[in-house]
Amino acid sequence: MINPFIQRPNPAHAPANAKYYFDMTEAADDLIQSLEGNKNFINDFILHLPEDKANYAYAEGKWTIKEIIGHIIDVERIFQDRAHRMGRMDKTDIPGFDHDMYVVSFDLSARSYEGLAKEFMTVRQSTIELFRNFQAPHLDFVGTANGNPLTARSSGWIMIGHALHHAKVIRDKYLMD
């Protein structure tokens, strides 16, 4: 039996900005293995962040490290829902969301890195379990989200690339002294 998870996403089945996230994952081809590996990498990354930088923002109007982690979790939940709906072949256009409002409306300053890491791990494990039950038709049904084409497969790769992107931002802009 052919493993339906060993296939890269089709950029035509995702918003134009998804190519950036896909490119961050270009060395991988197995979606489930990549979700698992990324889960462990992001968990370890969060748990090794310096406490003295937790509520630090490198410039006025930028998110803190904890807010970025909260954003990664929020986006995972949104794209998990999108993947679920695409996997159920839902033809309804899924509306977009205001990621800035999600961050500013929820104070994460008192949260610990351990708590945020645990929440990320729980949400990502739920994503993995959702994907484990998809078959090729579920993975590749093209629906729409925010007026753009999207498949469950594309959603999974976006989640991985999005988390990697923000880990890179934290490393490059928040941890440089």
Q: What pLDDT digit, counting tens, does each position of 65-123 carry?
A: 999 999 999 999 999 999 999 999 999 999 999 999 999 999 999 999 999 999 999 99
Closest by CA position to 103, among listed 163, 145, 61? 61
DSSP state of 148: E
Residue that has been written with the tokens 């950029």 in this structure:
11
DSSP state of 27: T
Question: For residue 136, which of 79, 85, 87 has the smallest C-alpha distance?
Answer: 87
Confirm if 44 and 50 have CB atoms less than 8 A apart.
no
| Structural domains in the chain, sorted by start | 31-174 (1.20.120.450)
Phi, psi of 30 (to 5 degrees): -105, 110
The pLDDT assigned to 129 comes to 97
State mean pLDDT over 150-175.
Answer: 98
Say what the pTM is: 0.96
What per-residue confidence (pLDDT) applies to 3? 87
